[in-house]
Amino acid sequence: LDPPQLILFLVFLSTAAGKMIKASDIYYVNLFATASISCEWGEKSPSGVFWYRQTEEGFQFLFHYSVTDKYTYGIDAPSEQERFKGSKRDSIKTIFILKILRVQEKDAGIYYCGVLNRTELTLSDGAELRPGETPPTLPPPTTTPRKPTPFRCPSRRRPKPQPGWGCGPLVLWPLAGGLSALAVAWVCTLYYFSRLPKKCRHRFTKRTRELR
């Protein structure tokens, strides 16, 4: 890392030390696990990347990682430097990765990566690391209760008679009436003939035979 670039970067840290930047991503990592924070850039591959951390006390320069796998640590770098590793992965875009091994509570903070091109420093969005914390649970989705369907009692009305030749009341009653009238007429006829004199009955019988 050239001295002019290092001086420019330290000047930036001194001016930004009193500003608390909001992180765009939050990482919940278990204690003693490995945290992986990635930093994606455009098609042009820079020669290296700066990694630093922001806490309530200010900015802390971690190290500069070059594409030749060379580390340059800052003055206030963490004492356990072997837990902080840098790497690079090439695809459509260049991706720099910061790995923190055996995460501890003191590693909490907002991590940034930056690329220095001549006199211009390009910074990434912050990624906040919260070791040992549990991510908040999302509230259950609200569902609209359905309206109960009203219960309808079955109708007690009698079914309508189907048209056709059946044995319903409309057919049986006229038939019974006709048979009764016929029986009454037959009884009356027998009673009438029983009251006639014998001569009249003989004539009526004889006349009936002649008609046959």
Predicted pLDDT at 175: 62
Predicted pLDDT at 212: 53
Clarify whether residues 33 and 119 are in a common domain.
Answer: yes
* Number of independent structural domains in the chain: 2
Predicted pLDDT at 206: 55
Clarify whether residues 84 and 184 are in a common domain.
Answer: no
Cα separation, 63 vs 75, in Å, equals: 9
Clarify whether residues 121 and 189 are in a common domain.
Answer: no
Clarify whether residues 25 and 104 are in a common domain.
Answer: yes
The answer to the question of residue 106 being in a domain is yes
Clarify whether residues 99 and 7 are in a common domain.
Answer: yes
- Of 131, 162, 197, the position where a domain reaches its end is 131
- Of 74, 98, 131, the position where a domain reaches its end is 131
Counting as low any pLDDT under 50, the low residues of the chain are 1, 3-5, 7-8, 14-21, 167
**Strand ranges, E, within 41-190:** 48-55, 58-66, 71-73, 84-90, 94-100, 109-117, 120-123, 127-131
Clarify whether residues 72 and 13 are in a common domain.
Answer: yes
The answer to the question of residue 147 being in a domain is no
Phi, psi at 112, each rounded to 5°: -130, 155
Clarify whether residues 112 and 188 are in a common domain.
Answer: no
- Of 101, 131, 161, the position where a domain reaches its end is 131
**The domain containing residue 200 runs over which residues?**
179-211
Cα separation, 158 vs 210, in Å, equals: 60
Predicted pLDDT at 106: 93
* Total-model pTM: 0.57
The answer to the question of residue 206 being in a domain is yes
Q: 15-21: long-range contacts (C-beta < 8 A, 24 or more apart)?
A: 16/59, 17/58, 17/59, 18/58, 20/54, 20/56, 21/54, 21/110, 21/112, 21/126
The answer to the question of residue 136 being in a domain is no
How far is Cα of residue 119 from the mean position of the Cα atoms in its chain?
Answer: 49
Predicted pLDDT at 143: 72
Altogether, the residues listed in the chain come to a count of 212
Clarify whether residues 127 and 189 are in a common domain.
Answer: no
The answer to the question of residue 161 being in a domain is no
Cα separation, 4 vs 118, in Å, equals: 9
DSSP-derived secondary structure letter, 42: -
The answer to the question of residue 125 being in a domain is yes
The answer to the question of residue 119 being in a domain is yes
The answer to the question of residue 13 being in a domain is yes
4, amino acid identity: P
Clarify whether residues 126 and 202 are in a common domain.
Answer: no
Clarify whether residues 187 and 92 are in a common domain.
Answer: no
- Domain of residue 106, CATH code: 2.60.40.10
